Structures are given as C-alpha cells and as structure tokens.
Structure 1
Amino acid sequence: MSDLKTHLTSTHWGSYEAVTRDGKLQGLNAFSRDQDPSPIGQGILDTIDHTTRIKTPMVRQGWLEDKKAGRTPSGKNRGKEAFVSISWDEAIAIAGDELGRVITNHGNNAIYAGSYGWASAGRFHHAQSQIHRFLNTIGGYTKSVNTYSFAAAEVIFPHILGHFRQFVYQQTSWPSIIENAELFVAFGGIPIKNAQIGQGGIGEHRQRQWMQDAHANGVEFVNISPIKNDAIDDINAEWLAIRPNSDTAMMLALCHVLIDENLHDQVFLDRYTTGFDQVAAYITGAADGQPKTPEWAAGLCDIPAASIRQLARRMASKRTMICTSWSLSRQAYGEQPLWAGVTLAAMLGQIGLPGGGFGFGYSAVHTIGNLANRYKIMALPQGQNRVTDFIPVARVADMLLNPGGDFQFNGQDLTYPDIRIVYWAGGNPFHHHQDLNRLMTAWQKPDTVIVHEWCWNA
C-alpha cells in the first residue's frame, strides 16, 4: 500500500500543502487559509527531477587545468568554457586550497562574499547565514551593504526620517487606510504581482483584499505610473500616465500648487520639520529663478498642468496617503522622488494622522501594510566578521574593475579591495545588476568564483 502524506511548507511566495506518495512529491496544494494563492509555487513540481539540475560538483575546464599545472587560475574565459564533473571530495579539497591560497597571499578582504539573494525562506537553510558563518570562522570577507530593491531609500531615509527598517515594516497599516483614508496616491503604482512574495514566507495573501476593501469603503486611488495595470481593475484607479523617472518634477509641481494657493500646513511644517524655507525657495523659484509650476512639470512628466493642479487640491481637501514605490528608487538620483514624496506629505500636514501621510512600497512585497506581529525570529549565529571592507551592493562591477580605486558612499571616503575570490550562495548578481555587459567584463577579473547552486539556469 502506498503511503500518501501531506506536509505544510513555506516559501517566499506563499505557504503550500505538499502531497507526497512514498516519499516523492506528487502535488502542491494552496494553503487552505490562503484565498489568493500565488501560482509561482507550482513551479516547484518541475524542479524536482528537471534536466537543468546540477547533479555533481562542476569546475570550469580552464580553471582546473590552471590549478593542476600550479598556475594562478585565470578568469579570462569565464562564461565561455565548458564545465567538467568532479567528486565531492575533490571539490571540497580544491575550494579549501584556493581559499587558503588567497587568504595567505592577499588577506581575507580579497574574498568577496556579499552573496546577495533571498534563496531559502528557512532559518537553518538560509544561504547567506551559512556562507557568512563559514567565512567568519576563517577570518572574514568583504561584504556588501544595502539592497537592489531600495538602496537609495536605505541611505536617504535615515537622514530625513530616522530608522529605515522600522519605518518600512511599521508604516501605516492597510486596515488604518481602509477605515480612515479618502485618497491614495500611488507614485509608481501598487502592482499586485509584486505582493505575491514576502521575505521569510507568507501565510495568507491579503493585499488584493485590502485594496478591494479600501475601494469599497470609499477610498479613491490614483495610479501615477507609465503602466496602467500597476493598479488592479477592482479599485477603479484614476491613471495618470507619467513619463518614466519624472515623478520628482510632478511632486515639486504639486508642492508649488500647495504653496501658491496657500493649501500647505504651515503649523505642521514649523513644528515637525526643519529646512522648509530652503525648500520653499527652490519650489517657488526664488532660489534658482525657475518656479516649479505645473506648466514647468508638464513638459517633463507628460501630465497636463490642469491635472496636476486638480490633484493637488484633492490631496489638500482629503485624508491622503502618498505612496512611493520601491521602483522609483532604482534609477539615477533615486533618492529624489522619495525625498520629494516626504516633503509633499509634510506640506499636507497629515503625517501621523490615521490613514494619511506617506508610505513606501505598498504592494512591493506582501509584508508592507500588514499588521502581523513584528518580533525577532530565530537565526543561525554568524559570528564576527573581522574584515571591515564593504561595498554598496550595486557596485560589485565597479569593485572588480577598479581594485584600489577610491569611491564615496554616504559621506564616507572608501577604497575598493582587490578581490581574488567571489563566493556566492543562494543568489545570482546577473538577476539584479544593471549594465550586464559591464558586469560580464568585470566577472573575468577574479581568480576564482565559487558558487553553491543546484540549477544551471538559476
């Protein structure tokens, strides 16, 4: 008789009930309490025995030939040469030998192991924790800071708000918006497709229902995005088809209307902000001779001046939530629309009022606006990293191409280390990075790249 069992499992894109027969996965059912499950999970079924799975440790042929000949490995043909299969014992031996060579000859800061990526939603099998714990036990590594998701926000928000992570995960909840907001203005949209995921796992997908409930309770939505379906049809959002990367200009014009028509909350600004006089001088043109009027902005953002004026007046007359998407930060000068969004919310004077103020990334991941308890979860201890070198995560190509070069980050003058080993587990920079042709060139520079991976096309 076959043994049929059901096991509850969690992934970054939801929880599922895995059905097994005699120890083999047969199906993946949605979690019984999840009314809007993500279809992404069904892809797990295809990965179990797929031909793209890596069955043994593999080494690039030219690298192995260099190693056996006693030469320092070269990366010049990385990405072009075939791989050859080796045993686990041989793989462990050559990886250990190469780490030892680089540490002895170049120091631990010659190992780059930021290893950016989400990988497993579990705690023990969390790839970053494991690789960082391992390398910390042998002296440390050059790390990365910040994320590809919203690095500009991670740097700018602490200067204008305070603690960044606390703000992101404790911002105004959807239930508060549903009960109190009247207008939800989404710069960059609120795309439901992004809310399928949540770092560490999801029980119930509720973002769609929250949006629907808000609409049913009278909240008006404005989708300011080049893409119409960055807001679900159910909420009947007004679509303002803005030119990409021009949100800051539109925000400044909205601020100009508030000042010009005396709709801004001067009492709030005097009590809770600093620097508004300088901001007002820039917005009105007193500082640079260019008033940031709706007519000025219209030529930059493709939104008619009349529409900008009308929206500013609506925002001032209603309890308004201003949301900036994470995507707005992923551009040149990505801190500017975030800063301008906070400025606009401050001028409305609604920060701190139920359902009003500003938010960052509603629907960017499922956790934003979720009232779930925030408590520290268990994690694998990683030990102490004795290397102080680091880079902002998106400067990996700059680092590899400019060893010893100087760079500035968040008010600091820093130097790129000379990286000889890149060590990655549970991620892939080619999924995240900008200018992939440049990254391909940079990827030839290290002597060695060690990757923990189970699938060739990951």
Structure 2
Amino acid sequence: MSTEHWRPSSTHWGAFRAATDADGTLRVQPHPADPAPSPLLGNLAGTVRHRTRVRRPAIRRGWLTGGPGPTGARGDEEFVEVGWDTALDLVAEQLERTRREHGNEAIFGGSYGWASAGRFHHAQSQLHRFHNTIGGYTASRNNYSFGTSQVLLPHVIGSTDALLQHADSWATIQEHTDLVVAFGGLPGKNLSIASGGITRHTGSAALRDLGTDLVAISPLADDVPAGPGADWWPIAPGTDVALQLGLAHTLLTTGRHDQDFLDRCCTGSEVFAGYLLGDADGIAKSAEWAAGICGIDATAIRALADRMAAGRTLITVSWSLQRTEHGEQPVWAGLALAAMLGQIGLPGGGFGHGYGSMADIGDDAPAVRPPTLPLGRNPVRAFIPVARIADLLLNPGQQYDYDGQRLTYPDIRLVHWAGGNPFHHHQDLNRLRRAFGRPDTVVVHETHWTATARHADVVFPATTALEREDVGAGRRDSHLIAMHQVLDPVGEARDDYAVLAGLAQRLGTHQEFTEGRSAREWLVHLYEQWRAGLVAQGHDVPPFAEFWAAGDLRMPDVRHRAPLAALRSDPERNPLPTPSGRIELFSATIDSFGYPDCPGHPVWLPARQRRGGPLHLIANQPPTRLHGQGDVGEVSQRAKVAGREPIRIHPRDAAAREISDGDVVRVFNHLGACLAGARVSEDVRPGVVVLPTGAWFDPQPDPARPGETLCAHGNPNVLTADVPSSRLSQGCAGQHAHVEVERHLGPVPALRCSAPPPLADS
C-alpha cells in the first residue's frame, strides 16, 4: 500500500496512521515518533466495523408506544429503528416538556469523557455546550479516575495540577533519584493511556531502565516493573496508610525527619506528629503497629525508613489507592511522609501522584493546552460528584455532604448521555439498573450497543473518531495531531455535533450552538485562535492548512515552574493557594467540616466490615483495552478465557476450591454475581483475586439465584459496592470488594453483549 493512502489520527492510547485495503480492511501504523507504541492499537480494526455498531436511530418499544415515564423495562425490551427526523423530533419534544414542567435542573447532562481523543468532537464538551444554550442542566463534577484526590488536594497543596501537570519527568528521576517508593506500584499497562492521547510513549521505556532502586508496594506482582533494583512488597490490600504511618513514625522517633522543611513549608506538622506518637488515642503508629495491619515485617519497615532518609527519595501514590473507602488517606499520608523527608520540590525527590497510573505523568512533553471548544455558562447551579449518579436518580430530594457543603439531589426526569458508559465506570450495576429505571426519558449517543445504550429510550448512532475530522492532543502531549477522516460512517451514524445541531434547530438555539460554522470551520477557527495565542508569545506555529497537510505539529516548548519547587525556594514569595500558603499536613478547613470519615489530618481508618466472602477482589484497569473501549477488539478478545474476562487467583486459593486454570468460575457476593475465566497465578497475593474492569456488562438470569441476574461476561462492578470514599469527596470507591469464587458447573450461557439487542423496523 502506498504511503499517500495513510491518514493520521489519534486515540487515548496513541497517535497513528490508518488506511484501508481494497477489501475495506483497516490497517494501522503507530506514529513514527512513538518509541513504544501501545498494543491497544490492535483493537481498532475489529472495533470500528463490529456488528454491535449502532447503525440507525433506535427507540425502545415501550417508550415509543407508551410514552415517557419510569419503568423497569430498560435494558430488556427490543428497539425500533426510526428515521433521524422522527428521533430528533421526539427528543426535542421531551427536552422542551421537561424544561417547561420541571425546569432545566431536571435534565442531567451526564456525559463522561473518554469518547475520543479529538478536542472538537469531545462528546462531553459538545453536550454541555448544547445544554448551556437551552438553559442549563444538572452537571457532574470530578472524575472516577482520581476524583477523591481532586477534592482533597486543593485543600492540602492548592490544586491537583501542582502534581499532575508538574510531575518530574522520568528522565529527571533517572538522573537524580536514589530510591522510588511506589505505593500501588508502577503498573506498566497503564502507561499506554492518556486523556486526549499521547504521541510518544516514553514511560514504558523508562520503567524498563529506571536506573534507580524501587520498592513497589502492591498485592500484585505485575504492578512491579522488571529490573534488578526492583523489590516487590506484597502488602495486604487497603493497608497502605498503616505502612505510611509506620514509616513516618520511624522517621520521627529516630530523628531522621527534616524539621526545618516542616517548619518552613508546611503547617500542622505538630498535630500530625502528635497523632503518630499516639498523644490522643494512646496508640503509637510504630513499625510494629503497622506490621500487624499490613503484613510487612517491622524490621523491613524500619530499614526502609532509613533508606528513604539516606538519599534522594521519591514517594508516589497510584490513583488506584484513592479509589477505595477512605481514599483520601493514602494520598494525604503519602504526602506527609514525603514532607517529613524534606525533599518536596527537589528534582527527583518528594511526592508524586499517578506515576504508573497514566502515561502523561512523568512525560517530559511541553505544557501546552490544546485547542478546546468553548462551553458557555451553565445557569443551573445543581451538580453531583460524578460517582453519585445512582444516588441522584434513586433519591430525589435527599440531602448529602460534599466538601463542606450540604447539598440536595434534584429530581431528574431526563438523562442525556453522550460519549460515556456508566455501566463500565459505576459500581453495583444491579443498583444502577434500578436507578436507570426511574427517569421519564433516557437519551444516549453511542457508537456501539453498550449496556448504557441498551438501557436507553432513544439511541442516536454516533460516529467513531475514524469517521470524522478532528484535532487531537493530550494535556502533556508532544504533538498536535490532525485527525483525518479515514472511514465512511457506519450506517446512518452522525457525529455528536450534527446530532445536537439538529436538536438545537428544533429548540430555536441553532445559531447560538453552531455560531454558523460547520464542523470543519470549527476546527479551523479553534486552531487559529490557539495558534494566535502562541504566536503572540513568540512561538512559530504554522497556519491550519499547513498543519492539516503535514498531519501533525510538534508542540511549542512551553514550560512552567512547579508550584512545590517554587514554595521550597521561598515560601514567603511563592505561597501555595491554601489557607496557610503552605502544605497542609493539618487542614483546619477539612477539620471544621466534622467528617468522621475524613478528619483534619492523615489517619488510619480501617475499612468497614464488608460482607461478601473471604477473597479480596481488586477491580483494576485492564491491560487489553481502555476501560470498556475496544472490548470487542482483537487484543481484548484474545485475552478472554472461554469468552469471559479472566480472573487471576493464587494457586493456594484455587486448589482449596478445586479450580484449575481455564475453568469458568462464578464470582459472587451479597451484591451480585458474574462468570469469569480462571487464571491461576502466583503473581497475586494469597487471599486476593483480580478481575479487571471493562468487560461489557451482560446481565442474564442467575441460575443460582432465581429472579436475580448475573453478568455472564465478567464485569466486576456487579460485585463492588456503590459507596463513596468519604463525605468530603464522595469519590468512587470501587477498586476493592470481598467475594467468593467457585467452579461453574452448569451450562455456560452464550454472550448477548457481542450482538445487537432485538431490533425492529418502524
């Protein structure tokens, strides 16, 4: 195939070139500048033309014949395919009715990101811009990935960007760091992914040749990169805070802490020290105390504290640790531990959050904000923390705490979702199914018949990124990518902009939403605005036509000084945007909220006693896809066991249950059940099982529980509890659960999620 047929594009897991053979087969090549392309590019060809693509507008039969209203039929009924005008007319009518009878607060503009690396066809932005033109909507805040930290860190260091946008590069770590202590480990699988895309995957190569000693603390061996200097500490799940406090107590009582740094750059160190010594509760948080909780020998804890104090040490906490009950604590305690070492703000030292969680944490690319679509203003003040969607739908009028506020869930009558799949992200999916039964109308834009589409009333078929033009880049990307259209849209699919423009036309806001521009004209407009700002700063950036013809451009070398490094150099001249201007090891603000599940300084808070079973389930991110994206692709399907998502189990636990490698097993607790394929492995700690998220939810009758359902495909979120991290953040706590696993002895049901739901013509 000649090179002129290759067209550039991008995904959240990397930039690439694509072309089609004469028979329509999609071919993909990684971007030539990428030193370690993601294997997830292998999912593209099998995904874009899969039989689960939504091809025409479709309406759930009960809603079409019986009208809007709450129902338990969502997810089970057939759909009727209709023409675009019919679907747009009906949705516009319900939007107008909901606004008129209940107000704009009754509309939930659900969309959650990750639909596309493109900055214009960013589904969440498109949807929010549209709703702002018709009077607003109830919104969501924060994210599932690190939503707990998004609330905590502004109180403690002033912002999340102080860590996420200003993390030391891998090259800096290789040059300056003697020891990395990684709570949650450094899982290489996550270094494929970055929100908005990443052109050069540098983290994978860095982990292979880190050049520094590493202690990776995780129940999973594959959270530890291979290398001669890497040690695996198989900690008991959910006990990282105890280990952090045991290390901090050792530093304090041996005089190895940096009191000068604590006095200059922190506030509340005396309160934290008192807690470590047990002044109030009589319990010294010693190495011996920690050992009894986390399963790490006290002698090893004391020795690690000595190593940390003896050289340049970077303490990093993965995002996974804050996706748990009391998830604020490992982040805050890790920061406090780093503060006691006194190395925050030094190259290669101090504290990191997210190394091994996302590809752009540790990337050395410029800090250039890519072009973005203006959203306008939302007149509706109501919002929810993103992980409280089921609570919102099930409990209108109920009050709840969030970040010092007492809020009330509005009464949602219409849900409008684009570019996201809550049946991947959310917990306790049986409860979420009940929640989705409550609104009058659920409208979903989707490329594929995901579980979210199947639980809708109206489904608009959306294009994939390969079927439209866009501009792609992540928040720390080396390149801006011209995303050319590679394929014709499947069936009657339209991009979200066209769908929303059609609704805006019917609601009288077409000019306000589109500003009279086509999608291509928006790309030119946004790019030239972005270019003008950079040119004004003295950077040489080509006009749109040159950029588009070239296929990409190298980002200008824009750098910003890290706030924590500036604080270290002069706390008086460079204060943080916290109440004290310092790192807050004790936060008077958080303390004033009076939350027992998140007091004013880092503490050890044991998880509540959980029902469910003797095995500790970790529902981590999958190595074979991004969330649920690409689950029908070749890379994801190749990893399945008997068509089910693989669950890893230690040989000791497998033998006790007469489970062999390759068996189909039933995983269950008091919340639900799923089928999975057993992988027996010593790479997990005994008593721990690992079932990644993202297998497409496939609810079917549970033969062991008449009248209930199980997921026949292996989605772990039928097993995870829908509870918040704390009253402070209301963040996602879906990383852990307790379960039992047994061999599945009955017939293995055929999967339904790999084919469209029943469809009929209008």
159-168 vs 259-268, which moves further = 159-168
| In 1, Cα distance between equivalents of 2:167 and 2:47 | 37
Q: Does 1:115 align with 2:111?
A: yes
Q: Which residue of 1 aligns with 2:630?
A: none
Deviation at 1:452, TM superposition (A): 0.2
Q: Which residue of 1 aligns with 2:56?
A: 56
Is the 8 Å Cα contact of residues 180 and 214 (structure 2) preserved in structure 1?
yes
Q: Which residue of 1 aligns with 2:77?
A: 81
Aligned residue for 1:234, secondary structure, equals coil
Q: Which residue of 2 aligns with 1:101?
A: 97
In angstroms, what is the RMSD of aligned CA positions? 1.6
From 242, 245, 258, the counterpart of 1:249 = 242
| In 2, Cα distance between equivalents of 1:409 and 1:425 | 26
Deviation at 1:152, TM superposition (A): 1.1
Higher relative contact order (CA 8 A, sep 6+): 1
Aligned residue for 1:186, secondary structure, equals strand
From 382, 387, 402, the counterpart of 2:380 = 387
Deviation at 1:184, TM superposition (A): 0.3
| In 2, Cα distance between equivalents of 1:51 and 1:407 | 43
| In 2, Cα distance between equivalents of 1:404 and 1:265 | 49
Q: Does 1:172 align with 2:165?
A: no
Deviation at 1:211, TM superposition (A): 2.3
Deviation at 1:271, TM superposition (A): 1.1
Is the 8 Å Cα contact of residues 185 and 323 (structure 1) preserved in structure 2?
yes
Which structure's residues are more often helix, by fraction? 1
The residue type equivalent to 1:120 in the other structure is: S
| In 2, Cα distance between equivalents of 1:35 and 1:235 | 23
Mapping of 1:226-265 within 5 angstroms? Answer: 226-234=219-227, 236-265=229-258
The residue type equivalent to 2:51 in the other structure is: T
Q: Which residue of 1 aligns with 2:353?
A: 360
Is the 8 Å Cα contact of residues 177 and 349 (structure 2) preserved in structure 1?
yes
Give CA deviations for 1:203-257 in whole Å, capped at 9, x if unaligned: 1111022223432xxx101110000110221354101001111100100000110
Is the 8 Å Cα contact of residues 145 and 319 (structure 2) preserved in structure 1?
yes
Q: Which residue of 2 aligns with 1:305?
A: 298
Mapping of 1:268-283 within 5 angstroms? Answer: 268-283=261-276
Is the 8 Å Cα contact of residues 406 and 414 (structure 1) preserved in structure 2?
yes
Deviation at 1:20, TM superposition (A): 2.8
| In 2, Cα distance between equivalents of 1:331 and 1:325 | 12
Mapping of 1:316-355 within 5 angstroms? Answer: 316-355=309-348
Give CA deviations for 1:106-137 in whole Å, capped at 9, x if unaligned: 00010111311310111221111111111111
| In 1, Cα distance between equivalents of 2:105 and 2:216 | 46
Is the 8 Å Cα contact of residues 119 and 371 (structure 2) preserved in structure 1?
yes
From 400, 407, 411, the counterpart of 2:404 = 411
Aligned residue for 2:5, secondary structure, equals strand
Is the 8 Å Cα contact of residues 14 and 38 (structure 1) preserved in structure 2?
yes
| In 1, Cα distance between equivalents of 2:48 and 2:306 | 56
Distance 1:234 1:34, change over 3 A: farther
Aligned residue for 1:398, secondary structure, equals helix
435-444 vs 333-342, which moves further = 435-444
Q: Does 1:183 align with 2:179?
A: yes
The residue type equivalent to 1:95 in the other structure is: V
| In 2, Cα distance between equivalents of 1:178 and 1:4 | 40
The residue type equivalent to 2:322 in the other structure is: S
Q: Which residue of 2 aligns with 1:28?
A: 28
Is the 8 Å Cα contact of residues 13 and 197 (structure 2) preserved in structure 1?
yes
Q: Does 1:399 align with 2:399?
A: no
Deviation at 1:82, TM superposition (A): 1.4
From 429, 452, 455, the counterpart of 1:436 = 429
Deviation at 1:382, TM superposition (A): 1.3
Aligned residue for 2:6, secondary structure, equals strand
Is the 8 Å Cα contact of residues 212 and 235 (structure 1) preserved in structure 2?
no
| In 1, Cα distance between equivalents of 2:149 and 2:433 | 27
Deviation at 1:278, TM superposition (A): 1.0
| In 2, Cα distance between equivalents of 1:235 and 1:366 | 23
| In 1, Cα distance between equivalents of 2:71 and 2:442 | 9
| In 1, Cα distance between equivalents of 2:396 and 2:353 | 35
Is the 8 Å Cα contact of residues 20 and 26 (structure 1) preserved in structure 2?
yes
| In 1, Cα distance between equivalents of 2:315 and 2:347 | 13
Aligned residue for 1:452, secondary structure, equals strand
Deviation at 1:334, TM superposition (A): 0.3
Q: Does 1:447 align with 2:443?
A: no
Is the 8 Å Cα contact of residues 172 and 355 (structure 1) preserved in structure 2?
yes
Distance 1:4 1:346, change over 3 A: closer
Deviation at 1:327, TM superposition (A): 0.3
Q: Which residue of 1 aligns with 2:218?
A: 225
| In 2, Cα distance between equivalents of 1:40 and 1:33 | 17
Give CA deviations for 1:255-309 in whole Å, capped at 9, x if unaligned: 1101111111111111111111111111011121001111111121111111111
Is the 8 Å Cα contact of residues 142 and 387 (structure 1) preserved in structure 2?
yes
Is the 8 Å Cα contact of residues 110 and 418 (structure 2) preserved in structure 1?
no
Q: Which residue of 2 aligns with 1:6?
A: 6
Q: Which residue of 2 aligns with 1:66?
A: 66
Deviation at 1:316, TM superposition (A): 0.7
Q: Does 1:208 align with 2:204?
A: yes
| In 1, Cα distance between equivalents of 2:83 and 2:390 | 32
Aligned residue for 1:214, secondary structure, equals coil
Deviation at 1:374, TM superposition (A): 0.9
Is the 8 Å Cα contact of residues 8 and 15 (structure 2) preserved in structure 1?
yes
Q: Which residue of 1 aligns with 2:147?
A: 151
The residue type equivalent to 2:43 in the other structure is: G
Deviation at 1:24, TM superposition (A): 4.3
TM-score with structure 1 length normalisation?
A: 0.95
Which runs of 5 or more structure 2 residues have no equivalent in the other structure? 452-762
Deviation at 1:3, TM superposition (A): 10
Q: Which residue of 1 aligns with 2:126?
A: 130
Identity %: 51
TM-score with structure 2 length normalisation?
A: 0.58
Is the 8 Å Cα contact of residues 209 and 227 (structure 2) preserved in structure 1?
no
The residue type equivalent to 1:317 in the other structure is: A
**Segments ≥4 residues shifted beyond 4 Å:** 1-4, 21-25
Which runs of 5 or more structure 1 residues have no equivalent in the other structure? none
| In 2, Cα distance between equivalents of 1:254 and 1:429 | 38
| In 1, Cα distance between equivalents of 2:185 and 2:222 | 8
Distance 1:295 1:138, change over 3 A: same
| In 2, Cα distance between equivalents of 1:223 and 1:209 | 18
